[in-house]
Structure formats: C-alpha cells, structure tokens
Amino acid sequence: MNNLIKSIVILAMVIMMFGCEEEVPDYAADIVGKYIVESIYSSFWDETIDLSALPLEDAFFVEITRDELKTYENDEDRCLDTYTIENDEIDGVTETSILFSDNTEMDYNEVSGKLRIEDDGDIILLASYSDAVPPASWTNPTLLTNDTYEPNNDITHATAIAAGGTVQNHYLAACNDLDYFMFSANSGTHYILETTSPLNADLDLELTLYSASGSEIDSDDDSGTDYNPSLYWTCQTSGDYYFLLDGFWDDEVGYYSVSVSTSTTLQRASSAPEEKKHRNVEKMRLSDLLFN
Ligand SMILES: [Ca+2]
Ligand SMILES: [Ca+2]
Ligand SMILES: [Ca+2]
C-alpha cells in the first residue's frame, strides 16, 4: 500500500474504534449552575418551608460546579459585609445522584424545571438563578433589595403614594431600613395614614409625618392594630407631605402594607400619649431551624 492508502486505512480504523466506544453521558452538565432555594422539606420537622417569597438578603443559594456544591447563607446580621459558604467536593455525577468525595451522595431529579435534591430524607427544591451569587447586598448592605420601592431611605427618594386609599406592600429590611413616602394633601381634608402587618408578624413600626420643608408635624407608634402606627391628621396648607416608616427597635424586619385615605368627616379625637405596647419573645430565624 502506498502511504496515502495506509493513512486512510489507519484513520478509518481510528474512527471505528472511537465510534464503537460507548459514549458516557455528561450528567454533570445537566445540573451545573446557580440556584436559589425555593422550598425545603425537613424530615425532622415533617414540614415543607416555602422560601420563595423571601427578600434576597434572607434567601439561600446553591451553586453547583463540576467540582463543588456550594451553599450560601447570609449572616444573621445583614448589616455586615460577610456571609457563610459551605463547600462540598463533588467526585462525580450519575443519572440520579451527586457523589461527594467524602463518600456521601445526594439523589437529584428534575421536577417542572426545578432541581429537586434529596439529602437524608430532606428535600430541597432549587430554581435556576441567573444573577450574582451571593447577591450584591450580602457584601454591601447599602444595596439591600428588600422590595421594589427601594431605594427610599431619604426624603428625596420618597415613594409616592396616592391619597386615595391605594394600598402599597412594602418590606422593612435589616440594617436600619428607612421607608419614606410622599403624598399630596389639600387644605381642610382629613387624612388617615395607616399601616398593617401580616398576622403574627414580629414587626413594630413607627410613623413620623413631615412637612415639605422636613419639619416634624406628628408621629405615632402603636395606635393601629398590633404594633402598627396610624395617624389621623387634618391638612392646613395644600402641598406635598412626607412620612417615614421605620422600626421602633433596631432589629425590626418584615412585610407591611401602607395606605393614605381621605375623609371629609372622620376625625379621631386626639388622645394622650399611650404606653408602649409590650412585646413578647423574639421570633426564631429560619436558618436556625435549617442549618443548625
Ligand atoms: Ca423598605
Ligand atoms: Ca427603604
Ligand atoms: Ca409601633
């Protein structure tokens, strides 16, 4: 055989050899990615905990590379630029399991586009996440992304709220979040500034009303339901007015609703300053259940 034919024969044999070899599926490629924890079923508590509505600073993240499964948890004090990360070294990925170098494994499968991981009876449901992990606010508390109205931490960034009873849903975040609001008021009209928080929420808000020049007009702490403030006020001069909602204590966090309503007749008689409502024990953090 001349050299050309020899080369073609060798090439053909090489192609046949590799062609016949069974291809090992790249299972790892199916699960590599960044995820946000959507729910956790705890076999110990026999309870599924829905985490899908948590603000980013309270959420949990998982990042899977070919070598590692990393779990991210923000520190309890959201005001620090630190967080906790746990690395589990991955040895291999089969069709159903992630094998770790410490000889443990977790089963996985896909459920409606989510990655479902089972670990010793606990079930963690992960949704794909495309933004930075950990979120920027974990290392820079000024970037807390607690609700869509942020930033509104000063009067110049106040959230506009219509004085027609529209209810806005907000979140008071850690690190001394301040939520400023602005509404237009008419002389002679009565206004009711009202807040509510979900049942059993451990949230104690206070409200301060300001004029456009920033001078304090009135304030309230607990006149509403639970520990929520509400304020009855009659406008003397038409114009823009501002109010601040912040936590009575430094560690207040949680969802609340706020509205500004008008009334031509309703005006609550002013009462003497009330006593501060007594609060019960602190609520336990979710991560105390999950990671300890
Ligand atoms: Ca807020
Ligand atoms: Ca704010
Ligand atoms: Ca209060």
Domain termination residue (choose one: 139, 161, 176)? 139
Closest CA to 226 of 250, 251, 255: 255
* CATH at residue 156: 2.60.120.380
Same domain, 32 and 126: yes
| Amino acid sitting at position 2 | N
Does 76 reside within a domain?
A: yes
CA of 181 to the centre of ligand 2 (A): 10
Does 240 reside within a domain?
A: yes
| Amino acid sitting at position 132 | A
CB distance 243 to 168 below 8 Å: no
Shortest-distance ligand to the CA of residue 196: 3
* Burial letters 227-238, b for 16+ CB under 10 A, else e: bbbbbbbebeee
Same domain, 88 and 155: no
Does 249 reside within a domain?
A: yes
Domain termination residue (choose one: 139, 165, 184)? 139
Q: Is 203 exposed, middle or buried (0-12, 13-18, 19+ CB in 10 A)?
A: buried
CA of 167 to the centre of ligand 1 (A): 15
Does 279 reside within a domain?
A: no
Shortest-distance ligand to the CA of residue 172: 1
Same domain, 83 and 49: yes
Q: Is 199 exposed, middle or buried (0-12, 13-18, 19+ CB in 10 A)?
A: exposed
pLDDT, tens digit, 9 for 90 and up, residues 50-104: 998 888 888 999 999 999 999 999 988 778 899 999 999 999 999 999 999 999 9
CA of 220 to the centre of ligand 3 (A): 7
In sequence order, what are the beta bridge partners of 127?
A: 36
Same domain, 183 and 107: no
Least confident of 14-18, 47-51, 164-168, 203-207: 14-18
CB distance 191 to 233 below 8 Å: yes
CA of 289 to the centre of ligand 2 (A): 28
Same domain, 128 and 213: no
Closest CA to 188 of 261, 262, 241, 271: 262
User: What's the CA gap between 269 and 220, in Å, rounded?
Assistant: 14
Cβ count within 10 A of residue 60: 22
Does 3 reside within a domain?
A: no
Same domain, 251 and 179: yes
Same domain, 107 and 200: no
CA of 111 to the centre of ligand 3 (A): 43
Closest CA to 254 of 286, 217, 232: 286
CA of 246 to the centre of ligand 2 (A): 8
> Given this model, what pLDDT does residue 18 score?
55
Does the reported pTM lie above 0.85?
A: no
CB distance 195 to 207 below 8 Å: yes
Domain of 244? 146-263
Does 169 reside within a domain?
A: yes
Place of tokens 């959507």: 38
CA of 176 to the centre of ligand 2 (A): 9
Mean pLDDT of the chain: 85
CA of 260 to the centre of ligand 2 (A): 18
Number of domains in the chain: 2
pLDDT, tens digit, 9 for 90 and up, residues 151-200: 899 999 999 999 988 999 998 987 788 999 999 999 999 999 999 988 76
